[in-house]
Amino acid sequence: MRGWLAFAAQKLEELRTLRTAAGTVKREALLAPSRAIGAARRGSAHTNDEAVRERVAALTPADYARAEPFAARQAAQRARVTLPELPTTTIGSFPQTAEIRAARRARRDGELSEADYEAFLEREIEQAIRFQERLGLDLLVHGEPERNDMVEHFGEQLRGFAFSANGWVQSYGSRCVKPPILFGDVSRPQAMTVRWWRWAQSRTSKPVKGMLTGPVTILQWSFVRDDQPRRETATQIALAIQDEVRELEAEGAFAIQVDEAALREGLPLQAAARAEWVAWAIDAFRLTVAPARSETQVHTHMCYSEFGSIVDQIVRLDADVISIEASRSGMDVLDSFGGGVYPNEIGPGVYDIHAPRVPDADEIEALLAAAEARIGRERLWVNPDCGLKTRRWEEVEPALTALVEATRRRRAAAPAEAAVA
């Protein structure tokens, strides 16, 4: 694979080659080595998996839709699990503490056995479950202590991905990630999240969400092969994640969240190209969750608050519950979803997790009232803006305590009158 990659040093060498080759009779000879590498990559067994390609080729329009419309699914889900008005949850991750990072490093360096590492993760997950039960959250998460990054973690377990040792890329602020190198056809050799979901669910009688990263986010946050259309690659990833959806459901998961944090981020700069891109990006999500039964609640999460231009396509996602960033806009982002535009359930974030500031219950209650006035209480969820991975427990505990307290107050109060119920 090394010969297929071009980082800064290799790109400089390519520029020298192009400069030398321009206007010379030796052009073909100078470019021949690069062309040979490209041909070898295109024909390599590492980039071509016939079983994956046959599976993609066999897809039909029926493979991209849930079996029943949302109203029927909502009724089936409410019959299966009774949740209160304004159900509370979090987006998925809890703080990645120094202790968690140290354990992961010790395991990688051979200083901590696999058995000891798994026992450590079990304790972390159980503590996360007990914490959520103590606060009174309704739909729980396992906290994701085993995950280094929401894309890298899945790339490490899927065929078709490779990783650099030090290929760090700045995400925001001082946070950096190490994007996978998506070089070949994608498939899932074995279950990726089921073991930890099963452990978390065994520790509580409340439902625990299965947590997956969606195909477009994996695509956007990887270095992606350039020898086939990105749509084709996204479809392969969608089928791999679909296999995980099926297995989580077979294990008994009531709720499965497929995060598409980068869906809005991936919009092409050229306006003329956006409609086609959004259409296949939404199709990739729909393909991922299409096999889920009506009584299985499919969640998704999207970052960034500019949804007005693509709200029709977000409706086409047809997730049972979507959570979005909303607190920094004072819930104004919900104007794009109100008035009967968005028919499914929605969790507008009620506090900003990107800052260490801890909101109080009064502030969150006011935001919930503003959300009710736009959407209607019967379709609203209560959650933070995003995952809590980058925050400290000293910030998370009082913030979620305020979230639960504000929700209890709203449940006890008369619903705010929505513009269109």
Each residue's pLDDT tens digit, 300-352: 998 866 777 788 888 999 999 999 998 888 898 898 888 888 999 999 999 99
Q: Taking the complete model, does pTM exceed 0.75, yes or no?
A: yes
Per DSSP, 296 falls in state S
Question: Is residue 186 a contact partner of residue 233, using CB atoms and an 8 Å limit?
Answer: yes
Which residue segments constitute the domains of the chain, with CATH numbers given?
Answer: 1-44 (no CATH), 60-412 (3.20.20.210)
The mean pLDDT value for 258-267 works out to 88
Q: How far apart are the first and last CA of the chain?
A: 56
Query: Is the pLDDT assigned to residue 90 strictly greater than 60?
Result: yes
Report residue 415 as tokens. 């619903």
From 142, 153, 301, 354, active-site residue: 354
Would you say 327 and 352 are in contact if contact means Cβ atoms under 8 Å apart?
A: yes
In angstroms, rounded to a whole number, what is the distance separating the alpha carbons of residues 65 and 232? Answer: 18
Single-letter code of the amino acid located at 342: Y
| Poorest-pLDDT segment among 150-164, 186-200, 294-308, 383-397 | 294-308
pLDDT band at 294 (very low <50, low <70, confident <90, very high): very high
Q: Assess contact for 212 and 142: CB atoms under 8 A.
A: no
Residue 305 has what pLDDT?
Answer: 60
Q: Which residue matches tokens 């790339």?
A: 155
Task: Tell me whether residue 299 is one of the annotated catalytic residues.
Answer: no
Which secondary-structure segment (H or E) carries 376? none
Residues above pLDDT 70, as percent of the chain: 98
Which H helix or E strand runs over 160?
Answer: strand 159-162
- Name the nearest CA neighbour of 320 among 287, 339, 343: 343
